[in-house]
Amino acid sequence: MPTLKLPDGPQTHPWIQTFQWLTNPLEYMEACTQRYGDMFTLRLGPIFTPQVFISNPQAIQQIFTTDPKQLDSGAAAGVGAPLLGQYSLLSLEGKPHQRQRKLLTPPFHGERMLSYAQLTRSITEKVTSKWQVGESFSVLPFMQEISFEVILKAVFGLEDGARYQKLKELLIALLNPKQPIWRAVMLLFPALRRDLGSWSPWGRYLRLRSSIDELIYAEIQERRSHPDSSRTDILSLMMASRDEAGEPMTDVELRDELMTLLVAGHETTASSLAWALYWIHHQPQVREKLLQELDSLGENPDANAILRSPYLNAVCSETLRLYPVAMLMLNRLVKSPLSIMGYEFEPGTLLVGSIYLTHHREDLYPQSKQFQPERFLERQFAMSEYLPFGGGNRRCIGMAFALFEMKSVLATVLSNWEMELAESEPVQPIRKGLLSAPKGGVRMLITGKRLQNQRQFQTTSSLV
């Protein structure tokens, strides 16, 4: 019989649990699962609602398939940030969520992503053209720059110019705070969100957001005043979408979804690319095998060939498995009594699928701390076993776009540059706001420039 008792969890004071979760999330989750199993309860501030962390695939599958009327995410589950807005796909639930998801699905159709191939390649080549043979640097800021430009041009549809540069400048300031831990604390504790003027952290945040909104609304208004059916950027496709009643998305809905796509797609893709470059160069045999596959595609490979390259796909999949940038799925709020794995969860309980813990189950991924792309060549994993983009009715709508961008950027970088790790110390993940990222941004050394996808490369005399 199901029990009303919640899964076991730490008995320490909720403030201590919150501190450990904020400062050392991966190690804290691992310690809890070692002691309490693959379902455990934490009480995190500020309201200390029980949050049941789950890494059991059977339980996760049940979460994915439960009727949203009984279990769903959205603002009521604490999802959504002040930056995103009330019409963000992440904040909505029920019929409004279904409507918005239907409107957003066509622009992110997998095949449509291929049309952004040349744009992504050109941006990658432009950003990496700053690299010099013999130079060492942190690779993450360059991946962030690539990700930003891809989003601003492919999603927002902006061309180089004053609005583009201003929006880019403001977004970088907003999304890359100097002290991300404090941003995470402010988002977790609404009481700390006090506008004490432009010098205060929250006041500065609000003013940045307001300036960004002004630019976005100006762009939307300009598009409405001068419609152009030939445009293929995602904002234009979103503006052309109509719901079942023939109604388009409002300006506010468009703004909120653009910010959601930006927040969800910028730092996640950039950090994943930095991790991929780290693992590829940390294990020479992975790099050799990947280069052989890329070289076999020819000098200017077709975008579809890159997208379907088996080993490149395996490398990306393993990168997203080992240190998923999003550590958790979106919270789900229990709306009516729900039985899962022998537990009866009462309304008001939050269920939190742990992507990180699921990806490190030894029964699914033996030697889970090791980078082994071959896992994804040897078997297929169920959505409840491998879930870097979540699942169910909350699966990331930009998944196809993110995977295509990741593969395209990696193929371009590896085909043009010879690199090696600049430091021998293992790179560790750290909290970066609500996400995780490689500590230090992965320092790389440029050792040469590859010629026409061949195994020859140029070097400086000092490196010969």
Question: Domains of the chain: which residue ranges?
Answer: 14-463
Residue of 150, 153, 176 whose CA lies nearest to 164: 153
What's the alpha-carbon Rg for the chain, to the nearest Å? 22
- Give the pLDDT of residue 195: 59
What is the pLDDT tens value at each position of the chain, 464 positions in all? Answer: 455 579 999 999 999 999 999 899 999 999 999 999 999 999 987 767 889 999 999 999 999 999 999 999 888 777 766 778 888 888 889 898 899 998 888 888 767 777 888 999 999 999 999 999 999 999 999 999 999 899 989 888 888 888 888 888 888 887 766 655 555 665 666 656 665 666 677 788 888 888 999 999 999 999 999 888 888 888 998 999 998 899 999 999 999 998 888 888 888 999 999 999 999 999 999 999 999 999 999 878 888 999 999 999 999 999 999 999 999 999 999 999 999 999 999 999 999 999 999 999 999 999 999 999 999 999 999 999 999 999 999 999 889 899 999 999 999 999 999 999 999 999 999 988 778 999 999 999 999 998 654 544 333 333 33
> Could you tell me which residues are beta bridge partners of residue 435?
432
Q: Are 129 and 243 in contact (CB under 8 A)?
A: no
Residue of 200, 310, 330, 308 whose CA lies nearest to 264: 330
- Tokens at residue 151, please? 């989003």
88-97: long-range contacts (C-beta < 8 A, 24 or more apart)?
88/256, 88/257, 88/259, 88/260, 89/257, 89/260, 89/397, 90/260, 90/264, 90/330, 91/256, 93/68, 94/68, 94/69, 97/68, 97/72, 97/393
Q: Are 424 and 95 in contact (CB under 8 A)?
A: no
For domain 14-463, give the CATH number. Answer: 1.10.630.10
- Give the pLDDT of residue 463: 37
**Alpha-carbon 217 to chain mean position:** 25
d(CA 253, CA 257) in angstroms, rounded, equals 6
**SS3 assignment, position 351:** strand
The 3-state secondary structure of 366-380 reads CCCCCCCCCHHHHCC
Q: Are 112 and 131 in contact (CB under 8 A)?
A: no
CA distances from 119 to 38, 101, 123, 412 (A): 43, 26, 6, 12
- Give the pLDDT of residue 110: 65
Angle at 172 between CA 170 and CA 174, to 5 degrees: 70
- Orientation angle between helical segments 251-282 and 310-322, nearest 10 degrees: 100
- Give the pLDDT of residue 120: 93
- Give the pLDDT of residue 39: 97
**SS3 assignment, position 179:** coil
- Give the pLDDT of residue 459: 39
